[in-house]
Amino acid sequence: MASVTIASGPAAAQQETSPPAKAENPSGLPIPRWVSIRAREANLRTGPGARYPIDWVLQRRKLPAEIVGEFENWRQIKVQDGTVGWVHKSMLSGKRTATVTAARVRVLQAPDTDAPVAAFLEDGVIVALNGCEATWCRIAIDSHGVDGWIARSALWGIYDGEAVKR
């Protein structure tokens, strides 16, 4: 049989109004958060350490990934298809990128549906995020000279309502 203790008075009132303590993570940064893959190849392991088997090898530099966990120098990430695994923090970059999630997405010269089209992008293209506001993100693909605005709903790698500043 379980017993329940009910406290009253100032100490109990203090406990109710204090925010719950957050667990510290090794980086001190919020979880979840977005990063990108720094290396041309990154081993996605089953656990946080080199002794754990490699499940996948990510072979796409600048691929966006969501950090969903941390342990010492290891980060648990999730990629667009939902695959989750552990990578060493040295394989990750804080540079924000996103993946285009629709076919033939218009890149506009201004954040306005009536703006001139600067380019068209296909599903799966990785772009640099140079800023996001309510419904638009400023993107670039430096290697192709593409710079403009995309509807944020056509991108994977940003949270709903998240403002990204460059």
Q: Would you give per-residue pLDDT tens digits along the chain (166 residues)?
A: 433 333 334 443 433 444 344 456 889 999 999 999 999 999 999 999 999 999 999 999 999 999 999 999 999 999 999 999 999 999 999 999 999 999 999 999 999 999 999 999 999 999 999 999 999 999 999 888 899 999 999 999 999 989 998 7
Closest by CA position to 67, among listed 52, 49, 53, 85:
85
Same domain, yes or no, for 83 and 104?
no
Same domain, yes or no, for 46 and 90?
yes
Same domain, yes or no, for 69 and 107?
no
Give the pLDDT score at 138.
97
Give the three-state DSSP class for 16: helix
Contacts of 136 (CB under 8 A, 6+ apart): 111, 149, 150, 151, 152
Give the three-state DSSP class for 90: helix
Give the pLDDT score at 16.
40
Same domain, yes or no, for 85 and 108?
no
Give the pLDDT score at 22.
47
**In a domain? residue 17:** no
Give the pLDDT score at 165.
87
User: In 10 A of CB 27, how many CB atoms?
Assistant: 13
Q: What CATH number is associated with residue 132?
A: 2.30.30.40
Give the pLDDT score at 130.
96
Cβ(77)–Cβ(85) under 8 Å? Answer: yes
Cβ(38)–Cβ(90) under 8 Å? Answer: yes
Which residue's structure tokens are 């695994």? 85
Final residue before a domain boundary, out of 95, 125, 148: 95
Q: What is the DSSP letter of 21?
A: P
Q: How far apart are CA 24 and CA 70, in angstroms?
A: 10
Closest by CA position to 89, among listed 138, 39, 149:
39
* Total tally of structural domains belonging to the chain: 2
Q: How far apart are CA 160 and CA 153, in angstroms?
A: 9
**In a domain? residue 91:** yes
Domain carrying residue 115:
98-156
Q: What are phi and psi of 89, to 5 degrees?
A: -60, -25
Give the pLDDT score at 142.
83
